[in-house]
Structure 1
Amino acid sequence: MPVTARVHVGRTDIFGPEGLASTSTAPLFAYGTLQVPEVAQTLIGRVPDTRTGELNGWVAAPLPGRMYPGLVRDKTRRTPGLVVTGLTAAEWMLFDRFEDEDYALERVTLTDGTDAWAYVWQLDTDPGVWSMSDFRSNFLPQYVDRCAAWSERDTKHRSIPR
């Protein structure tokens, strides 16, 4: 799998050259833990507007040793998820800081023709299918606690004068 450039805080693909949010920004396609209301609430302080969506040619694959998935190409699969709309520039930047450095933000087209951004896994992994129901049953409280701890560290880090 070719590795594309990793895209993080300061990118111009969503925010434009001045770093400002655009009203024409495509939504986020959430296929893993960012679909979970408790996770969104913990990270950005609210549950954004969503609707269901699907992506052909990709799969939310389980990642070894991690409780969350990575989106990887698989021509034989279709991945369900949520189309997240109405994110502010600050929320986009927070999600971008939160996502692992092994994800890149890529533009995708959903089965209904909607263009969206998705965090795509950049490393090789087996294209099995990650289970949201297993995640909710076995890991959700632990993961929400982990998100809360990350959010607290992120807030402290950003509040340090530079």
Structure 2
Amino acid sequence: MQLNVYLSGEIHSNWRDAIAEGVKAAGLDVTLTGPNTNHGASDDCGDDILGAEASNFWKDHKAAKINALRTRKLIGDADIVVVRFGDQYKQWNAAFDAGYAAALGKSLIVQHDPSLTHPLKEVDAAALAVCETPQQVVDILSYIHRDQ
């Protein structure tokens, strides 16, 4: 069974690499996609493509829309959306991606530290699985691939 899995969320740790390595080691037929994780390129894509803005509001506005073109396409194509919330920064975009995926009826896996359980209770309630580690995400994907 081939699965398309979109990896949304924080970009300040190697959790995506850990999932990719685990998927490869388990021999799973999984295609992983995600947002542009180059923070500078993501923030500057509007100015770089459409021209510089004098106001940070309009710079961010253009970049958010261009990034949304990618996000909407890849979440729309995903069988499963994994959203990771880190503890260092507030990931408003990750919460938005989780809500968007839920609204589309996508299967949702949420990953975060237990200390975030209370603030993420609504997001967790929309998920089919809530886990703490990238390995648990890989284990869920492996379970889905089992014949029995």
Interval of TM-score (by shorter of Structure 1 and Structure 2)? under 0.3
Name the TM-score, length of structure 1 as normaliser.
Answer: 0.26
The structure where strand makes up a greater share of residues is 1
Name the TM-score, length of structure 2 as normaliser.
Answer: 0.27
The structure where helix makes up a greater share of residues is 2
